[in-house]
Amino acid sequence: MDQQTTESLGTEACQSTSFNLRKAFAAKQKHMLSGLGLMPTFTNHPTAKGDATEERWIHMLSDFLPQRYGVGSVFAIDSFGKQSQQIDVAIYDRQYSPLFFKQGDLTFVPVESIYAIFEAKPELSKGYVEYARDKIASVRKLHRTSVGIRHAGGTYPPQEPASKPILGGILATDTTWKDIQGKAARKALLGGGITDRLDFAIAVKDGAVERVDDELIYAPSDQQLIWFAMRLYKRLSRLGTVLALDLDAYGHYIDDVRQD
């Protein structure tokens, strides 16, 4: 094999190991849009015959997130027997959490096991944002327990629940606001306190927003869905593992059962 052929093969080998991340992310977004029932046009801007449904959001997020995360519609419960409103799309731990309760098609998840909660609506609007905040508050108001975790060298101390805030947001296809970065939208999206604030909002055809402290960060144009998914996963990663729930706090109800 002559030197010219060797150099040519070497160049081809180098070229074959390159990976175009920009195109890969664009393809990933198209796949995610299709999962929501929204078809991207040549500009990557989606069109739709209808709205992305709750079920489609669940499927899309389940497909995107690592398998350690469960995604579904749930009721959150706490060790006092209190229950949240029904949550359209919840992201919860399914690797380390021992307690899940089923009643027909309904799923009840201990609040300690929940990472994030979302309301799925056809559009972003002031009314729907306020409705979503009320749903989110019904979960965040529940009591969360925390116990230490045994390891080879001893025990990790219980984690403070406040150090693992439950993320909240609203998922939509469109928006009623002319400009998602306009004054009316900003006022609505920055509303609420610790219990009912939104961390994320997305209108797939118009934009996506992440709230960090009292600032709003907006997705680049035509990248809103993949941007939202990546920012969400980044926030989930920072949370680490969910709280180790106190089984005794839940299990004391079993002790009330006495055999004759």
Domain ranges across the chain: 49-256
Distance between CA 57 and CA 71 in Å, rounded?
9
pLDDT band, residue 257 (cuts 50/70/90): very low
pLDDT band, residue 214 (cuts 50/70/90): very high
> Is 112 a catalytic site residue?
no
Q: What are phi and psi of 175, to 5 degrees?
A: -140, 150
Instruction: Report the pLDDT averaged over residues 218-234.
Output: 93
pLDDT tens, 46-103?
A: 544 455 789 999 999 999 999 999 999 999 999 999 999 999 999 999 877 877 888 8
Give the pLDDT confidence score for residue 255 in this predicted structure: 60
Instruction: Report the pLDDT averaged over residues 184-194.
Output: 95
Active-site entry in 51, 54, 88, 196:
88
Please check the confidence at residue 44 and state whether its pLDDT lies above 70: no
- The four Cα atoms 160, 162, 164, 165 give a dihedral, to 10 degrees, of 160
Instruction: Report the pLDDT averaged over residues 103-131.
Output: 94
* Collapsed DSSP state (helix, strand, coil) of residue 72: strand
Is residue 189 a contact partner of residue 209, using CB atoms and an 8 Å limit?
yes
The count of C-alpha atoms lying within 13 angstroms of the C-alpha of 239, restricted to the half-sphere facing its C-beta, is 24
The bridge status of strand 149-151 relative to strand 167-172 is unpaired
Active-site entry in 112, 121, 199, 205:
121
> Helix and strand tally (H, E) in the chain?
7, 15
> Is 205 a catalytic site residue?
no
* Collapsed DSSP state (helix, strand, coil) of residue 84: coil
CA 135-88-209 angle, to 5 degrees, is 75
Give the pLDDT confidence score for residue 92 in this predicted structure: 96
> Is 121 a catalytic site residue?
yes
- β-bridge partners, 215: 212
